[in-house]
Amino acid sequence: MKIFAVCQSGLGTSFMVQMNIESALQELGVDVKDFTVEHTDSGSVSGDMADYFFAEKTLVPALSNLPEEKIISLNSIIDADEIKQQVINILDKNAITHR
């Protein structure tokens, strides 16, 4: 499964979200070799690039070129618990076992 963290410039914010996604996967005991997590800017994404795209809710309207079901809207990009819960939701939706 491929997940992208997306922000306006594709630098610091999306990298922080990427690290939190990776941490959540590790905490949940998921085999991280089955996942690719990257970060990018909002202008470079297309729907075929990943299975899911994490973005702060105010950025979501700029991602109108992506399928809505692939967008994970975050209320707070610094809330690791929210990111972890969204990762859990993805794992459950895809029947992937976790702690």
Prediction pTM value: 0.95
CATH number at residue 26: 3.40.50.2300
- The answer to whether the beta carbons of residues 99 and 40 sit under 8 Å apart is no
- 15-34 pLDDT, tens digit per residue, is 999 999 999 999 999 998 99
Q: Which residue has the tokens 């975050």?
A: 74
**Domain residue limits at 69:** 2-93
Per-residue pLDDT reduced to its tens digit, 33-88: 999 999 999 999 999 999 999 999 999 999 999 999 999 999 999 999 999 999 99
Residue 38 φ/ψ, nearest 5 degrees: -135, 175
**65 lies in a domain?**
yes
Those residues with Cβ within 8 angstroms of residue 89's Cβ, 6 or more apart along the chain or in another chain: none
| Tally of structural domains, the chain | 1
Domain-embedded: residue 85: yes
Enter the tokens of residue 83.
């990111």
- With CA atoms as reference, report the closest residue to 51 among 72, 81, 25: 72
Q: Is the residue at 27 inside a domain?
A: yes
